[in-house]
Amino acid sequence: MHEVLKLLVVDDDAVIRRFFAKIFAGEGFRIESAANGAEALERIRSEDYDVVVTDLCMPRMDGLRLIRELHRTRPGTAVLAITGYGTIRDTVALMKNGAFDVLTKPFSLEEIRLAVDKAVRHHRLARKNRELEHRLKTAEKLAGIGKLAAGVAHEINNPLDAAIRFVNLALADLADDPDRAAGYLADAHAGLQRIAGIVRSLLDFSRTVACDRAPGRLADLIREAVVALRPGVAAPGVNVEYDLADGGVFVARGYFHVFTNLIKNALDALASGGRLNVAARPDGDGVTVSFTDTGPGIPQAIGERVFEPFFTTKPPGQGTGLGLSISRQIVEQLSGRLDFVSQPGAGTTFTVWCRTLQPPAPAAPRTGGVVVAAHGEAVRTKRRAAPRAG
């Protein structure tokens, strides 16, 4: 069965519309027509066309507006523009606005057939390309699901197997040596806690779509992340420095999770002491926040894998390998960027570009500056801080 292609002819001249209908009626096309751009859009809203041929000068809505609208709403449709002004400049302008090709009056039957044939081939190739892109995305999703499932099975099976073995040992010693059995049960409990942590991380991984988009003061989000992590994570001799020049910058509060994870990773890397510098600088319509540590750095061989789910260089039981994957998903949801550079032996810098937001409704100003100094931390601000919303 031959494919029936749909051709829409848009022209305020009925003679032109009949002319096109007569030419292509026996060549596998279903021909429809409209007298102006507005009428054409009504048809296009309810049906897709493979090729649209449109004049430029028409009442109600001209051809240029129609071409722009088709380019915006039906980018896969090939549009041929008919014009009496055949300059290169006009042709380029039409094609920039979405026309596939331009026919200049007067034109021959051969030129019409050739132009429509090229448009049909372009449409078919574009459609096949969209289908291939869809298949590729589906394959990538399936591959990602398979990889994630394998990672979940591996991460859960190890502590689960250990927990089962310890429970069995505890059962065997329960009557003869209750103290030893209690020790085995404590080990089993640790393994189950590990599994619970993995499940919590997976839930976070699946909930990143609903990240908080409300505005929060950047300096407060970073400071809160450090304060929350520092007591239980940072080793002695770790110094955290801030260089946040403008205290009035607001970003989505969802970045708090990202900052927390990046700071935690940096503090973990400074197990023998060192320095973490957190800096922010304006960057276009956003702000770039950098987290630079003086730790051992990331080997080049594994640099490409740091964002993979379940990939971690930490010892067993100290990391799920989901933190950076979750962070990248949050950043992408918030239209930001997450990158890193690292030099083995010299440290690592992660950078987050965040789009700046308007601050929340003004509140009563707080008098005086705010300086936080704890465990060698130094905060430098140039403007007085207003209270954080919420």
- CATH number of 325's domain: 3.30.565.10
Are both 10 and 69 inside the same structural domain?
yes
Domain boundary among 58, 88, 107: 107
Are both 335 and 245 inside the same structural domain?
yes
Task: Please name the helix (run of DSSP H) or strand (run of DSSP E) that holds residue 184, with its range, or none.
Answer: helix 178-206
3-state helix, strand, coil in the chain (%, to 5): 50, 20, 35
Are both 335 and 221 inside the same structural domain?
yes
Are both 193 and 228 inside the same structural domain?
no
User: Residue 390 falls within a domain, yes or no?
Assistant: no
Give the pair of three-digit tokens for residue 36: 């102006």
Residue 280 CB partners (closer than 8 Å, separation 6+): 218, 219, 222, 243, 244, 245, 246, 249, 287, 288, 289, 290
Are both 217 and 351 inside the same structural domain?
yes
Per-residue model confidence (pLDDT) at position 216:
92
User: Residue 340 falls within a domain, yes or no?
Assistant: yes
Check residue 237 and report its DSSP letter.
T
User: Residue 193 falls within a domain, yes or no?
Assistant: yes
Rg (CA), the chain: 31
Q: What's the CA gap between 277 and 279, in Å, rounded?
A: 6
Per-residue model confidence (pLDDT) at position 251:
95
CATH code for position 33: 3.40.50.2300
Helix axes 178-206, 323-333, angle to 10 degrees: 20
**Residues 18 and 54 sit within 8 Å (Cβ to Cβ):** no
Are both 195 and 219 inside the same structural domain?
no
User: Residue 364 falls within a domain, yes or no?
Assistant: no
User: Residue 116 falls within a domain, yes or no?
Assistant: no
Are both 349 and 255 inside the same structural domain?
yes
Whose tokens are 């440290």? That residue is 347
**Number of domains the chain contains:** 3
Give the residue numbers spanning the domain of 35.
5-107
Per-residue model confidence (pLDDT) at position 206:
57
Short-list 255, 259, 265, CA closest to 242: 259
Per-residue model confidence (pLDDT) at position 130:
76
Per-residue model confidence (pLDDT) at position 252:
94
User: Residue 114 falls within a domain, yes or no?
Assistant: no
Residue 210 CB partners (closer than 8 Å, separation 6+): none
Per-residue model confidence (pLDDT) at position 15:
86
Give the pair of three-digit tokens for residue 117: 């044939």
Q: What's the CA gap between 13 and 35, in Å, rounded?
A: 7
User: Residue 375 falls within a domain, yes or no?
Assistant: no
**Residues 252 and 334 sit within 8 Å (Cβ to Cβ):** yes
Are both 188 and 166 inside the same structural domain?
yes
User: Residue 278 falls within a domain, yes or no?
Assistant: yes
DSSP string across 260-277 = HHHHHHHHHHTTT-EEEE
Are both 298 and 224 inside the same structural domain?
yes
Give the pair of three-digit tokens for residue 375: 């465990």
pLDDT averaged per 10 residues, the chain (length 390): 74 85 78 87 83 85 84 82 75 80 80 83 79 76 64 73 89 89 89 80 58 89 82 71 82 92 89 90 93 91 80 64 83 92 92 93 54 41 39
Residue 27 CB partners (closer than 8 Å, separation 6+): none
Q: What's the CA gap between 180 and 174, in Å, rounded?
A: 8
Are both 157 and 192 inside the same structural domain?
yes
Query: Measured at the alpha carbon of residue 147, what is the angle toward residues 160 and 190, in degrees to the nearest 5?
Result: 20
Domain boundary among 185, 206, 227: 206
Are both 175 and 242 inside the same structural domain?
no
The type of residue at 96 is K
Are both 88 and 168 inside the same structural domain?
no
Check residue 317 and report its DSSP letter.
T
- Sheet (strand 78-83) strand order: 29-34, 5-10, 51-55, 78-83, 101-104
169, with CB counted inside 10 A (0-12, 13-18, 19+), is middle
Domain boundary among 159, 176, 206: 206
